[in-house]
Structure 1
Amino acid sequence: MTSRRYLKYRVTETDKKVIRKFLVHKKFSSSQLHNLKNKGGLIFVNHRQRHFNYQMKTGDEILIVMSVETPSDLIKPMPGQVDVIYEDKYFLVINKPPGIASLPAKALTSKTMANIVKYYLEQNGENGTIHLVTRLDRDTSGLMVFAKNSYAHSMLDQILHSDHFQKYYLAIIYGHMEPESGLIDLPIGIDQSAFYLRTIDHDNGKPSKTIYKTVERFSRGSLLKLKLLTGRTHQIRVHLKASGHPIFGDYMYTNQEEPLINRQALHCAELKIVHPVTGELLDLQAPLPEDMTRLCQTLRG
């Protein structure tokens, strides 16, 4: 299914008045401007079609008809459960269960959240093009963001690692962090023993920062709330292992089975997003899943 997106603005006194400059100020990328000009996009000012060099005035109404996006055949729509936390015409936030990947791996046709979200969008008359803004490991649960078009994707990407897009996780760890709150600032690189693992690498690793706070202490574990300041692969898992307090059930980084939970006890619990189009502050939350809730109850004794 293909569909068009419409964006409406009213030109204010402080806005750029030439259409091209106006759109650049509204965070249109060069590729989006190219597609708008060369791939069937349309621009109307006060209901009359105009071009990039048109000079607008304060109070003018501008309507952008985005070029058509054709969904890729590489991701097949597949029915499945979608726990919608937030949705508007720009993006979709879902609560991902553990045990399902975010995106298909190459040459694999197993069901992933991308396949399920594509089916969901198409069933609701939306364009099925997948724009994954944030992803989670297969066995990490919680909030994921999908943009509904390339413009929204670009807008979200531009704020992804800023104060306008804050990601908070809950993790259950072995032992107790000392001090109970603080900053883990350790560079992360690829583990030379296995390409899919990450490790602390002071020579070649990328800067990585995680803020943590102890929410609850148990006799042999703790519930932490963590905020990502950077977005490295497996960042929280690697940082907590390096601190001496790995996550319960994280076999990949502990090499030990955990009878109390069959996956890493890590959950993306909250997103605070300043909506890149409307400016609204969104505080989106996903409750602690059942298996992590049971683990907390067990550890409380």
Structure 2
Amino acid sequence: MSRNNRYLKFTIKDSDKKIIRKFLEHHRFSSSQLHNLKNKGGQIFVNHKQRHFNFKMKTGDSLLIVLNGEQPSDLIEPMPGKVDVVYEDEYLLVVNKPPGLASLPAKARSSKTMANVVKYYLEKKHENSSIHLVTRLDRDTSGLMVFAKNSYTHSLLDQILHSEGFKKYYLALVYGQMDPASGLIDLPIGIDPKAFYLRAIDWQKGKDSKTMYETVENFKTASFLKLKLLTGRTHQIRVHLSAMGHPIIGDEMYSHQKDSRINRQALHCYELEIIHPVTKKLLKLTAPIPQDMVLLRSALKG
């Protein structure tokens, strides 16, 4: 069997559903995944014998699911580049994205993005190179990004994305000082009527958006914040902080000013806490603060 196939192994417990289909539904297989498993070359083995969805298992049986192979999309072409791997197993890949690199290609873009580089990296390892982007970052935001290695893991991660099973923490350097020093920003975000690629606070049509923040350090004219995303809107942290009157340093789009000390917004996804959707282990992953933010921070200390 090729390494492109993904295996899921289960030992059937007393409390488990015994009919294979029911068992898989209980383990959050979506109807499209069950369809693919049945019609696109997936396989099911109970105690090393191939079985169908209606087979009834017993406590102690070992169930092996071989997920169907996936055809990688032609829209994302593999491109060589540096992949800073923070965590990897057979189900997921977490990378530290540098600033200045988009997460995914725009429709007509042939420039290199994180997805192109990851695809190349997976192909080199002869793994399933279908790209399943679980979290994305703006081009000029650095830090941790999560890719699933198959559609089953992707859908499990999607189901916990904005829950306590998947916590995302960011660091930002902002103009001025937050008052109060920590709290919750709860302001609805919608598309800016002036430009479709911008976001704005929109009380009529905006989507519920929540960001928790705490001040880590205050400087004379700026502060260093730790933020936790409770929802995942485009540009959420950038819009929320600018709405509070404390835009991120270097974020020309929302601060409307250039800053000679850094050439991007000083925003970095530095920590993820994920309950692994398959192994159920808690992953605590971190990415160190990039050099440009370290330098900005010491400049602010004066």
Same fold (TM over 0.5): yes
Specify the SS of the correspondent of 1:212.
Answer: strand
Counterpart of 1:195 in structure 2 is: 196
1:3 and 1:293 mapped to 2: Cα distance?
A: 40
Cα deviation, 1:201-249, whole Å, max 9, x if unaligned, reads 1111001000000001011100000000000000000000000000000
Q: Count the aligned residue pairs.
A: 301
Residues in 2 aligned to 1:232 and 1:71: alpha-carbon distance in whole angstroms: 27
Alpha-carbon deviations, 1:71-110, whole Å to 9, x = none? 1111000000000000000000000000000000001110
Match of 2:297 in 1: 296
Instruction: Please give the per-residue CA displacement for 1:187-214, whole angstroms capped at 9, x wherever unaligned.
Output: 0000000000000011110010000000
Q: Is the 8 A contact 1:2 1:70 kept in 2?
A: no
Aligned mates of 2:186, 2:69 — CA distance in 1: 43
Task: Give the RMSD, CA atoms, in angstroms.
Answer: 0.9
- SS of the counterpart of 1:71? coil
CA distance in 1 between partners of 2:108 and 2:220 (Å): 45
Structure 2 counterpart SS, 1:37 = helix
Q: Which runs of 5+ in 1 are unaligned?
A: none
Q: Which residue of the partner structure matches residue 4 of structure 2?
A: 3
Could you tell me which residue of structure 2 aligns to residue 60 of structure 1? Answer: 61
1:158-211 superposed Cα distances (whole Å, 9 cap, x missing partner): 110110000000000000000100000000000000000000011110010000
Distance in 1, matches of 2:205 and 2:77, equals: 38
Distance in 1 between the 2:258 and 2:42 partners? 55
Contact 1:173 1:222 in 2 (8 A): yes
Instruction: State the TM-score, normalized to the length of structure 2.
Output: 0.99
Are 1:148 and 2:149 an aligned pair?
A: yes
What is the rounded CA distance, in whole Å, between the counterparts of 2:164 and 2:17 in structure 1?
26
Structure 2 unaligned regions, length at least 5: none
> Matches of residues 30-69 of structure 1 in structure 2 within 5 Å?
30-69=31-70
Structure 2 equivalent of residue 101 of structure 1? 102
- Which residue does 2:256 correspond to in 1? 255
CA drift of 1:6 comes to: 1.1
Residues 2, 128 of structure 1: 8 Å contact kept: no
- Whole-Å separation in 1 of the counterparts to 2:161 and 2:56: 32
C-alpha distance in structure 2 between counterparts of 1:6 and 1:124, whole Å = 17
Write out aligned runs for 1:109-128 (5 A). 109-128=110-129
Offset from partner CA, 1:238-275 (integer Å, 9 cap, x none): 00000000000000112211001000000001000000
Within 2, Cα distance between the matches of 1:258 and 1:169?
A: 21
Distance 2:13 2:173 in 1: 49
**2:69–2:128 Cα contact (<8 Å) kept:** no
Q: Aligned equivalents of 1:262 and 1:117: distance in 2?
A: 25
Deviation (angstroms), 1:139: 0.2
Report the AA paired with residue 81 of structure 1: K
Query: Which residue number corresponds to residue 269 of structure 1?
Result: 270
Q: TM-score, normalization: structure 1?
A: 0.99
Segments of 4+ moved more than 3 angstroms: none
SS in 2 for 1:296: helix
Tell me the CA shift for residue 43 of structure 1: 0.5
After TM superposition, list the pairs within 5 Å mapping 1:145-224 onto structure 2: 145-224=146-225
Distance 2:273 2:68 in 1: 30
- Per the TM alignment, residue 2 of structure 1 is displaced from its structure 2 partner at its CA by 8.2
- Counterpart CA distance in 1 for 2:109 and 2:243 is 33
Q: % of aligned pairs identical? A: 71
Counterpart AA for 1:185: D
Q: Do the aligned residues in 1 keep the contact of 2:3 with 2:126 (CA within 8 Å)? A: no
Give the Cα–Cα distance (whole angstroms) in 2 for the partners of residues 255 and 173 of structure 1.
Answer: 13
